[in-house]
């Protein structure tokens, strides 16, 4: 594999206050700030992760979004071409989990590329004594929707590295690596997989137009 990282667009969705910005802060800078400002519409950061077994680097371009209802239609811009979507709920707030089931999951499923990776994340595992969302139930739900699942804490850092390890395991299949190789050979476009997944996005848009 060449040295150029592959770019993967990743978006965090979920209700306000679930810890999306804090998770990004932990992942990018390995820090936690108690008082965060609400994300206005969207913000962007990126980090390169090296996958040793496959000898490949992925640059995750991570978009944080505002969870408030008034921004929901704008959020579509962020997830319609995201290859990885992290659906975040707060384990101490039942309504944030319910919002994933009632709203966020179907939104993402309908508007993301067909083979996008969806990851259900229960944040604030350090507050386990206040947990109101049953972990087993959430894990089972994730299974039903063919999503990955992880309980994490942006505050302590527990489970954060695992998220991107697990994404890599799901993403870096033989078939995927072969596609990248072919694409690199064909157009020498070494740092983008957008074309691979753009076809799926086009399909979704076509379907929408026709019916």
Rule CB under 6 A: which residues touch ligand GDP? 16-22, 34, 36, 38-39, 67, 123-124, 126-127, 153-155
Q: Closest CB to ligand GDP belongs to which residue?
A: 19
The least distance separating ligand GDP from the CB of residue 91, rounded to whole angstroms, comes to 9
**């074309």: which residue's tokens?**
195
Closer CB to ligand GDP, residue 13 or residue 116? 13
- What is the layout of strands, in order, in the sheet containing 148-151? 42-51, 56-65, 6-13, 84-90, 117-123, 148-151
The residue ranges of DSSP E strands in the chain, in sequence order, are 6-13, 42-51, 56-65, 84-90, 117-123, 148-151
Rounded to whole angstroms, the Cα distance separating 169 from 186 reads: 25
The least distance separating ligand GDP from the CB of residue 38, rounded to whole angstroms, comes to 6
Closer CB to ligand GDP, residue 36 or residue 192? 36
Q: Which token pair is 54?
A: 């496959």
Closer CB to ligand GDP, residue 12 or residue 180? 12
The least distance separating ligand GDP from the CB of residue 16, rounded to whole angstroms, comes to 5
The least distance separating ligand GDP from the CB of residue 189, rounded to whole angstroms, comes to 33
Q: Which token pair is 127?
A: 């507050």
């Amino acid at each position: 594999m060449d040295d150029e990282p592959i770019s993967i667009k990743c978006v965090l969705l979920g209700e306000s206050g679930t810890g999306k910005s804090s998770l990004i802060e932990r992942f990018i800078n390995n820090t936690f700030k108690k008082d965060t400002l609400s994300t206005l519409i969207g913000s962007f950061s990126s980090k390169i992760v090296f996958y040793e077994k496959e000898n490949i680097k992925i640059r995750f371009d991570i978009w944080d979004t505002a969870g408030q209802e008034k921004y929901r239609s704008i959020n579509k811009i962020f997830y319609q071409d995201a290859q990885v979507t992290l659906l975040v709920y707060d384990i101490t707030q039942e309504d944030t989990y319910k919002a994933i089931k009632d709203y966020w999951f179907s939104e993402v499923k309908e508007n993301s590329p067909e083979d996008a990776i969806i990851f259900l994340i229960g944040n604030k595992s350090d507050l386990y004594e206040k947990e109101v969302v049953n972990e087993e139930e959430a894990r089972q739900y994730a299974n039903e929707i063919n999503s990955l699942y992880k309980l994490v804490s942006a505050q302590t850092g527990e489970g954060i590295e695992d998220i991107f390890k697990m994404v890599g395991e799901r993403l870096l299949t033989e078939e995927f690596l072969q596609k990248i190789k072919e694409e690199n050979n064909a157009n020498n476009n070494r740092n983008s997989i957008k074309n691979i997944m753009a076809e799926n996005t086009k399909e979704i848009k076509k379907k929408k137009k026709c019916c």
